[in-house]
Structure 1
Amino acid sequence: MADKDPRLSDTSKFPDPVYKETVLRPLFDGARNHHVDGFRRIDRAHLVMLAETGILDRAITAKIAEALVAIDKEVDPAELVYTGEVEDFFFLIEKELKARIGVDIAGRLHTARSRNDIDHTLFKIGLKEKIDVLMSKARTLLAAMIDAADRQKSTLIVAYTHGQPAQPTTFGHYLSATIEVLIRDIERFSDARRIVDLSPMGAAAITTSGFPIDRARVAQLLGFSAPLRNSYSCIAAVDYTTSTYSAIELMFLHLGRVIQDFQFWTSFEVGQIYVPNSLVQISSIMPQKRNPVPIEHLRHLASQTFGRARTVLDVMHNTPFTDMNDSEGETQGMGYEAFASAARVLDLLAALIAQISIDPERVDQNIRRSCITITELADSLVRIEGLSFREAHEIAAATAKSVVAAKGSLADDGYAPFTAAFEHSTGRKPSISLDKFEEIVSPEHFVAVRSRFGGPAPEPMQAALAAYRERLSSFETEAKQIERDEAAAAAELEEKFAALMGDR
């Protein structure tokens, strides 16, 4: 005998207790904790649009508006406990509406919309707010870095390649390199925000609606720059999520490299960065140790931020191009943890950069021990003695080898081996005197002659700092305009929503 159709004998009721605890309760709590204001704004903006387009008459929209206000006053989201009576937070609000104005009128608020377009609009509202906060902190860090670069534009440091001393430059020049990367990271965030700033409302489930809705009006009332054009894209294209977390991932990958340099430069063996006592912890057993542990916290928090952002991207991988839970509540909530750790890194790094300084004595020792100005000797031989760079390089290499072997310094002990190497290679004496040699191999001279575009000399550094400040100013101007636009949209929404109740 064939098995009976299980649909005919199924007496189970939704929700299954395990499903309730493992899925519905966490989703409800996530919406309650993160999206209450978003739900409120969406309900009000959609209702205003339904009234303005004539889809609902004014008497009905007034009753719905009054009920929404009552819910705001009488229902405290912080005290809500999920019981399973309703599927999610959306249906809780609908249940509260029904209790106040009846099933027929309450149900009309959902005309021409779906949880699909509501959800993605909620997530975009939340992301915009979090992006704006993080961008503000990134601008604060950028300002701290520019100020530090300005203060330290003439402060010598040892620049490293492959973990070895390479050439002298200035701390300001080093920081300028990191500033340029941070500027590009902020630009990526701005681009991501522009993608987020397109409203999905009006897409409904997939294909918009047969009702004469005004999608642009809802977008305006919610503070979006415009509606996202294609309605399928509104519920399927999660590039607003991937662009946001890609921007986070790259920013904290890049900042992590700077943090790692600071860790290396504060080591006892290098010691060219001094961290003040306010940012140093002392060992519980070794009283001689000064541990600049904020740098370690920066490193692991930057890595956690990177990892959390990457996880969101990994969840999006190989998902279908449709509305799907993979991109929604719990994934969005998980991503918020990346914003939280990111904010901690930006705040702490800005404080650290504002307070650290360079130890000139250690820098001088390391320059002397490492012969890192030898490149300029080779360059000067080309300019002054008319040699090919390859021959000049060989003379300079022989000079450095002798100085290092003698554990001396280039300025104090390099002239004799230099003249010997020069005569051996060219068969004549150099025209460079001892005084000229000492000038050539000084780190100050090394920096001063590198006055090309982007170099560490004073002129290109001043031009660079001016450009960075101008870019920071443009970021600030853009942020202020965004703040004004968001405030204006919020004020108009409140005004138009309040007017609905005045129509009674």
Structure 2
Amino acid sequence: MKLWAGRFQKETDTLVNDFNSSIGFDARLYQQDIRGSIAHAAMLGKQGIIEEHEAEKIIEGLKAILADIEDGKVEFSMDNEDIHMNIEAMLTQRIGDAGKRLHTARSRNDQVAVDTRLYVKEEIPAIIKQVLDLEQVLVKKAEANLDTVMPGYTHLQRAQPTTFAHYMMAYANMFKRDVTRLEDCLARLDECPLGAGALATSTYPVDRFQTAHALGFHKPTDNSMDSVSDRDYAIELMADLSILMMHLSRFSEEIVLWCSWEFKYVDLDDAYSTGSSIMPQKKNPDVAELVRGKTGRVYGALVTLLTMMKSLPLAYNKDMQEDKEAIFDAIDTVELCLPVFAAMVDTLTVRPKNMAKAAAGGFINATDCADYLTKKGLPFREAYMIVGRLVNMCIKSGDTLDTLTLKDFRAISSLFDEDVYDALALKTCVNERKVYGGPAKESVQKQIELIRQFVGEHTK
């Protein structure tokens, strides 16, 4: 019998029952649901809303159900629609009428709200830990490649010289912001909706501060209608996870390029690559490609929640049942991607010679050549034009700026001298960029230290 059967004269149609049911996906909330119910029962007993001995019996029954679920002894029923009704039905079957008192001063609206918040509240720290693990891998790779010069790119064209360490720290700073975004989201959702009821609390003297603190929340939510009718914390989390996956996807794209024969800046470990069923020479960057592809699933979760909520009147609407599959899938996807991505980066082999060879071409020291002239008193725009003429001359002759003779340089400008070759050396170009945040070795070492400090502060 349905828990709402008193109002209805007919049984729910089988198609409607299946369509309406969420137990197929919200069963994973069983721990959170039981925790919330235990806190609610304890509060009911303390407030004298139900007898203390009934509250104790309910709590004992809930703990036994939790143990049985963990041991695989429980089979959930589609007839009971969702995880909340399944557990309540089991409880009543086991302990009798006392189980029917559990739902006093509570609605499934605030029940599902607290379950989902508890779930998200537990998963965010797990994701943060995975991001911090990736940060440690990036620090390790950066420290090993402080002198590994490579081209930096704009428009995917070789632009200026940098180092592989500087590159790693660029992504490390992106992931650092991802951590702080997740922390901000966690702080904002740290309010407990339990006790809000269907939308207007209860005539019973419930103590929402007791249940909030019992469940580890900072405080109860301030408005009961808001408590059950918004999912902005979940939308915020989906946005944060989408940004995180975007960063992983960009990094994946770099790796796909870098391990191609056209670049060959890195080699992926065999354990994090796959082969072809027909081409024996192939070594495919499937991990990076899958991370890039799975980013779309997380974006989809964000759009799902935004679309679901965009026209809903207050307070609860059944549409909101659609939040959980999107939330679960996004969290599962991120938690699947992060550790395998970190392992792939950790085990890849850097090819400094190939990077140096690429850096030697493409005139990526052209800006440094212009800077050389400006330091000798020439306005930058004039220096820019002179170096442009030099580059054009090199393209026609097949030279690089480094291979031009001093006579060639002076044919364009008398300001060039023997010291131009030191100024154009790639390591000079990199290590003279000592500006805070730049690619010079001492600057990157500072960046590494800041990331290491950040990780340390978050792993105490």
Determine if the TM-score, normalized by the shorter chain, exceeds 0.5: yes
Matching residue's letter, 2:367? T
CA, structure 1 residues 313+144, in 2 after alignment: closer, same or farther (shift >3 Å)? farther
- The structural deviation recorded for 1:155 is 1.1
Alignment partner of 1:17 out of 14, 25, 31: 14
Tell me, in whole angstroms, the C-alpha distance in 2 between the residues paired with 1:96 and 1:287: 57
1:68–1:362: structure 2 CA closer, same or farther, 3 Å change rule? closer
Is 1:407 paired with 2:398?
yes
SS at match of 2:10: coil
Distance 2:397 2:220 in 1: 72
Give 2:3's aligned residue. none
Structure 1 partner of 2:378: 387
User: CA offset at residue 73 of structure 1?
Assistant: 5.8
1:20-31 map, 5 Å = 20-24=17-21, 27-31=22-26
Residue 442 of structure 2 is aligned to residue 442 of structure 1: no
SS of structure 2 residue aligned to 1:168: strand
For residues 290 and 93 of structure 1, what CA distance do their matches in structure 2 show? Answer: 50
- For the residues of structure 1 that align with 2:194 and 2:159, how far apart are their CA atoms? 56
Given residue 28 of structure 1, which amino acid in structure 2 is its aligned partner? I
Partner of 1:500: none
Deviation of 1:332 after TM superposition, in Å, equals 0.7
1:42 Cα offset (Å): 1.3
Alignment of 1:54-69 (within 5 A): 54-69=48-63
Structure 1 unaligned residues grouped into runs of 5+: 1-9, 423-428, 478-504
Structure 1 residue 430 corresponds to structure 2 residue 415? yes
C-alpha contact (below 8 Å) 1:371/1:404 kept by paired residues: no
With normalisation by structure 2, the TM-score equals: 0.91
- Residue 484 of structure 1 corresponds to which residue in structure 2? none
Contact preservation (8 Å) 1:256, 1:303: no
Aligned to 1:234: 227
Mapped partners of 1:348, 1:72: distance in 2 = 32
Q: Pick from 377, 385, 388: which aligns with 1:397?
A: 388
Q: Which runs of 5+ in 2 are unaligned?
A: 1-6
Look up the equivalent residue of 1:446 and give its one-letter code: C
Matched, 1:82 2:77: yes
* Amino acid in structure 1 at the alignment position of 2:84: F
Identity %: 28
Residue 444 (structure 2) pairs with residue 461 (structure 1): yes
In 2, Cα distance between equivalents of 1:386 and 1:16:
87
Q: Aligned runs of 1:3-402 on 2, under 5 Å? A: 13-24=10-21, 27-32=22-27, 34-72=28-66, 79-82=74-77, 84=79, 86-103=80-97, 105-328=98-321, 330-383=322-375, 385-402=376-393
Please tell me whether the aligned partners of residues 264 and 270 of structure 1 are also in contact (alpha carbons under 8 angstroms): yes
- Residues 371 and 410 in structure 1, CA contact (< 8 A), matched pair in contact too: yes
Residue identity opposite 1:240 in structure 2: Y
Bigger relative contact order, structure 1 or 2 (CA pairs below 8 A, ≥6 apart): 1
Flag the 1:390–1:129 CA change in 2: closer, same or farther, 3 A: same
**Distance between the aligned counterparts of 2:387 and 2:183, measured in 1?**
48
Q: Is the 8 A contact 1:379 1:392 kept in 2?
A: yes
CA contact (8 A) 2:42 2:56 kept: no
Displacement of 1:18 in angstroms is 0.8
Q: How does 1:471-490 map to 2 (within 5 A)?
A: 471-477=454-460
Counterpart of 1:303, as a letter, is: G
Aligned residues: CA RMSD? 2.3
CA contact (8 A) 2:245 2:295 kept: yes
- The answer to whether the Cα contact below 8 Å between 1:400 and 1:410 also exists between their aligned partners in 2 is yes
Cα deviations across residues 231-258 of structure 1 (Å, max 9, x unaligned)?
Answer: 1111112111111111111111222122
Looking at structure 2, the residues matched to 284 and 355 of structure 1 have their Cα atoms a distance apart, in angstroms, of 24
1:470 match: 453
Kindly provide the CA deviation profile for residues 322-356 of structure 1, in whole angstroms up to 9, marking residues without a partner as x: 2122223x421232111122122211221122122
Distance 1:36 1:298 in 2: 30
- State the 1:414 CA deviation: 5.4
Q: Secondary structure at the match of 1:109?
A: coil
Deviation at 1:278, TM superposition (A): 3.4
SS at match of 1:128: helix
Counterpart Cα distance in 2 of 1:394 and 1:335? 55
Comparing 360-369 and 459-468, the one that deviates more: 360-369
Matched residue type, 1:349: F
Note if contact 2:360-2:426 (Cα within 8 Å) is conserved in structure 1. no
Q: Do the aligned partners of residues 377 and 29 (structure 1) sit closer, same or farther apart at CA in structure 2, a change above 3 Å counting?
A: same
The amino acid of 1:380's aligned partner reads Y
Deviations 1:241-289 (A, max 9, x none): 1111111111112221222122222222222223233333343443433
Stretch deviating more after TM superposition (347-356 or 57-66): 57-66
* Residue deviations 1:209-252 (CA, integer Å, cap 9, x gap): 22222111111111222211211111112111111111111111
Q: Distance in 2 between the 1:394 and 1:41 partners?
A: 71
Pair 1:271–1:97, CA change in 2 (3 A): closer
Q: Could you list the per-position Cα deviations for residues 159-181 of structure 1 after superposition, in whole angstroms to 9, with x for gaps in the alignment?
A: 11112111110111111111111
Q: Distance in 2 between matches of 1:387 and 1:11?
A: 89
SS of aligned partner of 2:459: helix
Alpha-carbon separation, structure 2, partners of 1:327 and 1:442? 61
SS of equivalent residue, structure 1 residue 139: helix
Q: 2:235 and 2:103 mapped to 1: Cα distance?
A: 29
Q: 1:369, 1:404 within 8 Å by CA — same for their partners in 2?
A: no
Task: Please give the per-residue CA displacement for 1:384-419, whole angstroms capped at 9, x wherever unaligned.
Answer: x21111111111111111112222232123544321
Could you tell me whether the CA contact under 8 Å between 1:396 and 1:418 is conserved in 2?
no
When Rg is computed on C-alpha atoms for both structures, the one with the higher figure is 1
Q: What residue identity is the alignment partner of 1:59?
A: H
- Evaluate the alpha carbon distance shift between residue 87 and residue 77 of structure 1 in structure 2; reply closer, same or farther with a 3 A threshold: farther
